[in-house]
């Protein structure tokens, strides 16, 4: 499996672009099924949390909900600008479980990665201890 290291901005762009593409694919294949969109959101959250670099871990749980909203653009129902905006707000309200679940998964992965990074820092070994 590839091991890319994305910056905070790169992780946000990756997540938003992938969710927009998946939202478009969902619209094309499933007729804008919000359940399918929510299921597709979870692996994107895992990939974003796994691929963001260590210095930018705090950005991953922030960009994931933004990307969820960006991906709703092709999926949300409505005609015109205000109709589409109401469709996005409605989708955010009705699909909050997927949004919270994906954000929680991202937060847990990022927290575990941060703890592991802090434990690997130099100077935390036995060399500094005296008998």
Phi, psi of 80 (to 5 degrees): 80, 180
- Following DSSP, what letter does each residue of 16-84 receive, concatenated? HHHHHHHHHHHHHHHSS-HHHHHHHHHHHHHHHHHHB-GGGGGGHHHHHHHHHHHHTTTTS--SHHHHH
Tell me the pLDDT tens digit for each residue of 90-128: 999 999 999 999 999 999 999 999 999 999 877 655 555
| pLDDT at residue 67 in the model | 97
Work out the number of other CB atoms within 10 angstroms of the CB of residue 35. 11
- pLDDT band at residue 130 using 50, 70 and 90 as cut-offs: low
Tell me the pLDDT tens digit for each residue of 48-93: 999 999 999 999 999 999 999 999 999 998 899 999 999 999 999 9
């Amino acid at each position: 499996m590839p091991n890319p290291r994305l910056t905070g901005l790169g992780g946000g762009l990756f997540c938003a672009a992938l969710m927009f593409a998946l939202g478009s694919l969902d619209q094309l294949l499933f007729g804008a099924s919000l359940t399918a969109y929510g299921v597709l959101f979870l692996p994107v959250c895992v990939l974003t949390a796994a691929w963001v670099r260590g210095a930018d871990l705090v950005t991953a749980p922030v960009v994931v909900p933004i990307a969820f909203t960006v991906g709703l653009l092709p999926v949300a129902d409505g005609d015109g600008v205000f109709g589409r905006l109401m469709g996005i707000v409605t989708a955010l309200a009705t699909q909050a479980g997927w949004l919270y679940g994906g954000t929680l998964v991202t937060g847990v992965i990022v927290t575990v990665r941060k703890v592991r990074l802090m434990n690997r820092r130099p100077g935390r070994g036995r060399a500094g201890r005296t008998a």
